């Protein structure tokens, strides 16, 4: 029987730890800083509660048999699910408004590059190891990168093709200043402007 390697590399674990710490920091900021009259929706509270309950049940299930790889796989699937939930409202809002105004396309571009390089890394490792276990054994990572790439492509299409930002016309005072010559001729009286 040929024993295949576990397709979870150290950099995958480091990325997961980094993502967990950044999310914890974000949650700390949400709890600490002023939110005005914004509150959490019942749907958001329900989704987060359900995910934490599932994680607790899976942890209690994995603890006696020490099925840590199974637990990590379940957490990967939950991460894919939460990522899809995270992107859907923004895509829907852009569609309803027919605009991406206020949306930072830079984050989508960075996320897209992360998804593409994640797949490229798995391809390179698979070629090097002459085994495609990196894809079949790490379905969570594959799905996460594909979901991110899909939504990032959707956001790029919305931002650059479907709803390109319109150039805002300058304010009337700015229009006047733009059309005035920088150096006034001797025939024109100099008028002091109040600033």
pLDDT of residue 195: 52
Count how many domains the chain has.
Answer: 1
pLDDT of residue 175: 56
Confidence of residue 99 (pLDDT cuts 50, 70, 90): very high
In a domain, residue 4? The reply is no
* Residue range 95-118: mean pLDDT, rounded: 91
DSSP of 77-145, one letter per residue? HHHHHHHHHHHHHHHHHHHHHT--TT--HHHHHHHHHHHHHHHHHHHHHHHHHT--HHHHS-HHHHHHH
In a domain, residue 89? The reply is yes
Q: Is the dihedral of CA 70, 88, 31, 21 positive or negative?
A: positive
Of 34-43, 102-111, 174-183, give the lowest mean pLDDT range: 174-183
Q: Is 40 helix (H, G, I), strand (E, B) or coil?
A: coil
In a domain, residue 123? The reply is yes
pLDDT of residue 189: 60
CA 117/CA 173 separation, integer angstroms: 48
In a domain, residue 26? The reply is no
Query: Range of 105's domain?
Result: 42-179
Distance (Å) of CA 19 to CA 23, 25, 109, 158, 164: 6, 10, 18, 27, 31
In a domain, residue 155? The reply is yes
CA 90/CA 148 separation, integer angstroms: 13
Which residues does 159 contact at the CB level (< 8 Å), separation at least 6? 94, 100, 103, 105, 108, 165
For the stretch 47-88, pLDDT in tens is 889 988 998 999 999 888 888 878 888 888 888 888 899 899
In a domain, residue 156? The reply is yes
In a domain, residue 9? The reply is no
| Contact between residue 122 and residue 142 where contact means Cβ atoms under 8 Å apart | yes
| pLDDT reading at 3 higher than 80 | no
CA 124/CA 112 separation, integer angstroms: 18
In a domain, residue 11? The reply is no
Confidence of residue 161 (pLDDT cuts 50, 70, 90): very high
């Amino acid at each position: 029987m040929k024993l295949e390697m576990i397709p979870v590399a150290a950099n995958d674990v480091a990325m997961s730890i980094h993502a967990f710490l950044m999310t914890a920091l974000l949650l700390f900021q949400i709890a600490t800083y002023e939110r005005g009259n914004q509150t959490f929706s019942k749907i958001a509270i329900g989704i987060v509660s359900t995910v934490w309950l599932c994680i607790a049940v899976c942890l209690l299930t994995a603890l006696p048999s020490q099925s840590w790889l199974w637990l990590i796989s379940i957490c990967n699937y939950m991460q894919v699910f939460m990522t899809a939930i995270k992107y859907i409202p923004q895509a829907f809002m852009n569609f309803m408004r027919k605009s991406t105004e206020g949306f930072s396309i830079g984050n989508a571009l960075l996320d897209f590059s992360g998804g593409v390089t994640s797949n490229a890394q798995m391809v390179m490792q698979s070629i090097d190891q002459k085994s495609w276990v990196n894809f079949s054994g790490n379905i969570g990572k594959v799905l996460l990168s594909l979901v991110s790439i899909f939504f990032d492509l959707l956001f790029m299409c919305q931002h650059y093709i479907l709803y390109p930002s319109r150039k805002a016309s300058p304010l009337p005072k700015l229009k006047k200043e733009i059309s005035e010559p920088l150096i006034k001729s001797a025939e024109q009286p100099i008028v002091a402007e109040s600033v």
